[in-house]
Amino acid sequence: MKEGMGKVAVGAAVIGAAAVVGVAALVVRQRMKTSGRWARAMGIVKEFEEKCGTPEGKLKQVADALTVEMHAGLASEGGSKLKMLISYVDSLPTGNEKGVFYALDLGGTNFRVLRVELGGREEGIIHQEFAEASIPPALMCGNSDALFDYIAEKLASFIDEEEQRFHQPAGRQRELGFTFSFPVMQTSINSGTLIRWTKGFSIDDAVGQDIVAELTEALRRKGVEMRVAALVNDTIGTLAGGRYTNNDVAVAVILGTGTNAAYVERAQAIPKWHGPLPQSGEMVINMEWGNFRSSHLPLTEYDHALDVESLNPGEQIFEKLTSGMYLGEILRRVLLKMAVEASFFGDVVPPKLEIPFVLRTPDMSAIHNDSSSDLRVVGSKLKDILEISNTSLKTRRVIVELCNIVATRGARLAAAGVLGVLKKMGRDSLTEGGEKTVIAMDGGLYEHYTEYRECLESTLNELIGEEAAATIVVEHSNDGSGIGAALLAASNSLYLDQ
Ligand code: GLC
């Protein structure tokens, strides 16, 4: 018996030891698997970071390439990827504008209706009021009438609700500045045809149509009495709005859903302009810089894939690297690759991560901006948006770093864009007169993504050098584009002599 029991006991001990060895082997193998995965994930991050590199020399090449394209775009229609569109704005607001004017602002995530009461030099902006609505996604890809009817309806109810004192005297129509933030071939200050859609809009029957005629028709359908006095891009509106408050504003840059710039050009430096030379000798140009592309741009496999799968493949490449519509999507694509190829989030690829555009730039900004010691915000964003829970601090840190890579590349390229424009204007180095150049900036990305904004501004200083940087001022022009459009409606009013 004794012996037998001993045998059993020995047997059990042997089995126990084997189990311990087995578990240990499993743990080791698991660890090796995990560390192998981690190494693979870090390899993906490292490669991405390298490909996104924007050393100063590269940025200067980008700026130079942009300057060259600006010349080409001004020389002839279709001479460059940069459309360099003539805005028909040859005089910017002076401050003398008077009266009640309206503006419609369409072209980003939100749509706005606005009324401004201008009191001339003495009183400035006496009163302004706006209503805001988001554009229902279905309207972005439907038909032209549906979109313009929606806009006209919002304007109709805005006017219905307004106080008696804003009503126009008999025989006088209300006048409106229409900020339409897409590439438009203007034929006058208040007419122009849509060249193509950008930023996720895709309404085929509007391309090639006169945008003012489309709006005017819709206003008639909705019974709104209104004259469209000016059709402007948001960059033009921002430039006009900026100039109203600061005489040194000569450039406007939008960094929002999309990106673009406008600046004041010498009319004589526009070979493709065949009209009479404006009295001011100047013409504001809408560059449509979102469509800039150059071999110097640091494009990665993720950018190529994003472009190919976008609504406008091959177009708006600069925009796809720098603007709000795309930054979060680039991040998502990198994370997806890490999930698929390195099981970065565990054995299963989180299904939500496979949905295009699910990770929006405002969320990326919140992740990037998380300064809590345990990266709490990162954790909750991952959970809320991607349904990924229980991430380690280490994992969260990597995600923040990825945000940094994507945002830094975008912001530094945007700064290179600004340098390119300043070069074209001869304002990139200290001028003899030492005059100031103010750049009016607007857009949600610039306004709300702190790391992006700070990186853009410091890069600009780095590129321009200390001496010239003292004469270049970047100014946030808060909703300058709406007010700018109203101001341009005022200076192009039918009733200027009243
Ligand atoms: C897109 C549009 C452009 C606009 C910019 C910023 O690039 O094509 O017209 O100015 O977005 O909104």
- pLDDT per residue as tens digits for the range 307-319: 999 999 999 999 9
How much is the pLDDT for 442?
96
How many whole angstroms separate alpha carbon 321 and alpha carbon 329?
Answer: 10
Q: If residue 128 lies in a helix (H) or strand (E), which one and from where to where?
A: strand 125-134
First to last CA, the chain: 121
User: What is the whole-number distance in angstroms between the Cα of residue 5 and the centre of ligand 1?
Assistant: 85
- Residue 289 alpha carbon to ligand 1 centre in Å: 8
Give DSSP secondary structure letters for 374-414: T-HHHHHHHHHHH------HHHHHHHHHHHHHHHHHHHHHH
Question: Does residue 149 carry a catalytic annotation?
Answer: no
Residue 411 has pLDDT above 70, yes or no: yes
223: domain CATH number? 3.30.420.40
Average pLDDT over residues 267-272: 97
Query: Which structure tokens are listed for 405?
Result: 């890579």
Answer whether residue 465 is part of any domain.
no
Nearest to 425 by CA among 252, 273, 184: 252
CB atoms within 10 A of CB 296: 19
Cβ–ligand 1 contact at 183 (below 6 Å): yes
User: pLDDT tens, 422-457?
Assistant: 999 999 988 778 889 999 999 999 999 999 999 999
- Per DSSP bridges, beta strands 184-188 and 174-180 are unpaired
178 lines ligand 1 (CB under 6 A): no
Residue among 489, 446, 442, 476 at smallest CA distance from 232? 489
Q: What is the DSSP string of 49-66?
A: HHHT---HHHHHHHHHHH
Does residue 116 lie within any of the structural domains?
Answer: yes
Known active-site residue 105 = no
Contact 131, 110 (CB under 8 A): no
Residue showing tokens 């857009």 = 443
If you take atom 4 of ligand 1, which residue's CA is the nearest one? 181
Of 167 and 493, the one with more pLDDT: 493
Region of 264 please: left (phi>0), alpha (psi -120 to 50) or beta. Answer: beta
19 band by pLDDT with thresholds 50, 70 and 90:
low
Query: How many domains are there within the chain?
Result: 1
Task: Give residue 23's pLDDT.
Answer: 66
Please say if the pLDDT value at position 479 is more than 90.
Answer: no
User: Domain span at residue 145?
Assistant: 85-254+262-289+478-491
Please indicate whether residue 234 is annotated as part of the active site: yes
Sheet of 472-476: strand order equals 85-86, 282-286, 259-266, 249-255, 437-442, 472-476
The closest alpha carbon to 202, from 154, 286, 135, 256, belongs to 135
Q: Is residue 64 part of a domain?
A: no
Q: How confident is the model at residue 21 (pLDDT cuts 50, 70, 90)?
A: low
CB 237 less than 6 A from any atom of ligand 1: no
